[in-house]
A and B are shown apart, each in its own frame.
Chain A
């Protein structure tokens, strides 16, 4: 369980997160939604052990995340950033292989290569593996970065030891992907969850969240505004309050009970249906 309790983070004299209570368990896929500046990226940084809380705690399986050895933490919590800027011509495979850094000395070359190959295949990057990362499109770079995170938490070690539960924190991993790779990316994250990995994923797309996520946390001004299954958490009045937009909420035609959201456009009718 990766959990935050009564978390408060201040940055540059401003309270960015306050009173955050949440937990990501093995097999969970938790989506974090919220307007720009709501604190999604800060939440991910805090859960990754990158920031020291001003109040409250972040714990991984009952231990404060700051108490973990950095390599141990890195083998258990991987972060997929929004984008990666690289000025040197690593191949995609080399970038993915950097994810094996915290496994040095515990893994073997064979296990490392297997982890890298598997990660490349899962992110649909095998065909581009030998390409120069800096020449890839934004979406391809993002898939490569996803693969790096997958290789990072691939926990099969030489001594057969598996050190605890693993977590992936993804910060808008679908932002620069085309629709087929958006779906593929979230499917990969779901596949990880099926294998026991806890996934937390910041998203902007309500429909993707409703389709792929078990639980939604809506952040607003650094606080949790809603927490629950998409159908319950993404209520129209909450969306109106948090995002300031009117959305038409409909049932997914193919999957009854699953909400989807339609924008109203500039010629919005006066009263939205809900």
Chain B
């Protein structure tokens, strides 16, 4: 057996060109994004998309024959695509980090109830929020929903972790059952708010529980985009500590890593990202399982390559799901959460069965 020694082998040495995979995924994301921008009830050819983007970047004014295209593209499509990329990336990143933290490839913000917990916060704000503005300074109102989603997501994360690792290391069965419990409780709370809601609130709640990228306008997204951007800042630097943590909590301690500190920071980063994502697009499941798993099959579990590659993969997945959601029943639009669940559900089942009875 020959052992390849690479000149630049970092520690731990990744195997099949993670840098190439990241570059390839970034290129693929660019292609999917341009195609996706052009697709819709109002079609714009990819070449025309390129021309318009170039014009806008260079600060030129659009020629008259492109005015409508330009308005659709910049005002409707671009925010939607940007939202899809940001949310897909953060959901996949959150999934990869939770899998490392729980030492289990089945962990995911959706499965463990972080997403539905955050949805309780978001939906609660829809229903109760109308009564608050008198109490809260006007400037803070747009921040209420992302904040509520974050806090509810954080509570769900802390609860699942505390239950799953009661009496030592996190066990897969306990983890999944704790996720079921959180999802059930969150479902009850969301149901209660639905019951309380009026006609117009009901439509918004439906949107939040099934997910959609359709609400993107630059101004409305801002309060949630900040925490969404903060999440990777917290999570990416944890990469090597997550590698060490995969060996077990005691082993990590022996290597100088404090599991408690990693857990706190990861929990905050996941809750921030997922809370913001849910506030922006509602509950979109399974991106956090599918993207990291496919990346691990290609380049292994080392987090320094896994985290960026999974984030890119999640962005690509969500854009593809969005294309499917817009095309399937055009001109009507499917909730994107249905599409990801349709793909992710069977994928999750396959993962579970492949791991065999030992997994649970």
Contact = CB atoms under 8 A, between A and B. Distances in A.
A136 interface: no
A73 B256 contact: yes
A84 B248 contact: yes
B333 interface: no
Nearest to A102: B256
Given A81-B250, A101-B11, 14 more contacts: A71-B256, A88-B246, A89-B300, A94-B12, A95-B12, A97-B12, A98-B255, A101-B256, A102-B255, A112-B11, A113-B9, A116-B11, A130-B3, A130-B15
A91 B300 contact: yes
B257 interface: yes
Of all A-B residue pairs in the complex, the 7 with the closest CB atoms, nearest first, are A74-B256, A88-B301, A94-B12, A70-B256, A97-B12, A71-B256, A102-B256
Contacts of B5: 113
A181 B4 CA distance: 26
Interface in A36-84: 45, 48, 50, 70-75, 77-79, 81, 84
Nearest to B9: A113
A90 B302 contact: yes
A159 interface: no
A90 B5 CA distance: 17
Given A84-B248, A86-B246, A93 B255 contact: no
A130 B1 contact: yes
A87 B354 CA distance: 13
13 contacts: A70-B258, A72-B256, A73-B256, A81-B250, A81-B251, A87-B246, A88-B301, A94-B13, A94-B14, A94-B302, A98-B243, A101-B257, A127-B1
B10 A109 contact: yes
A87 B5 CA distance: 26
Contacts of A89: 296, 300-301
Contacts of A109: 8-11
Contact of A74 (B104, B246, B254): B254
A94 B300 contact: yes
Identify whether the interface residues of B are mostly helix, strand, loop, or mixed.
loop
Interface residues of B, number: 33
A152 interface: yes
B80 interface: no
B247 A95 contact: yes
B48 to A, nearest CB: 45
Most buried by B among A93, A101, A104: A101
Contacts of B9: 109, 113
A120 B302 CA distance: 19
A113 B8 CA distance: 10
B105 A88 contact: yes
Contacts of A71: 256
B331 to A, nearest CB: 44
Contacts of A129: 3
Contacts of B246: 86-88, 90
Interface of B: 1, 3-5, 8-15, 103-105, 240, 243-244, 246-248, 250-251, 253-258, 296, 300-302
A90 B12 contact: yes
A100 interface: yes
A85 B104 CA distance: 11
A160 B15 CA distance: 30
A87 B15 contact: no
A100 B103 CA distance: 20
A87 B254 contact: no
A45 B4 CA distance: 37
A50 B254 contact: yes
B355 to A, nearest CB: 8
Contacts of A126: 3
Contacts of B14: 94
Interface string A107-130: 001001100100000000011011
A112 B6 CA distance: 13
A259 interface: no
B8 A88 contact: no
Contacts of B250: 45, 50, 79, 81
A93 B13 contact: yes
Contact of B11 (A48, A81, A87, A100): A100
Most buried by A among B8, B14, B255, B257: B255
A36 to B, nearest CB: 18
Contacts of B240: 101, 104
A260 to B, nearest CB: 33
A197 to B, nearest CB: 16
A99 interface: yes
A142 B14 CA distance: 22
Contacts of B12: 90, 93-95, 97-98
Contacts of B8: 109
Given A109-B8, A113-B5, A129-B3, A78 B300 contact: no
B255 A152 contact: yes
Contact of B300 (A90, A98, A101, A112): A90
Contact of A50 (B103, B253, B257): B253
A268 B246 CA distance: 47
A88 B103 CA distance: 8
Contacts of B251: 79, 81, 84
B185 to A, nearest CB: 27
A75 B256 CA distance: 8
A84 B247 contact: yes
A90 B306 CA distance: 12
A97 B246 CA distance: 13
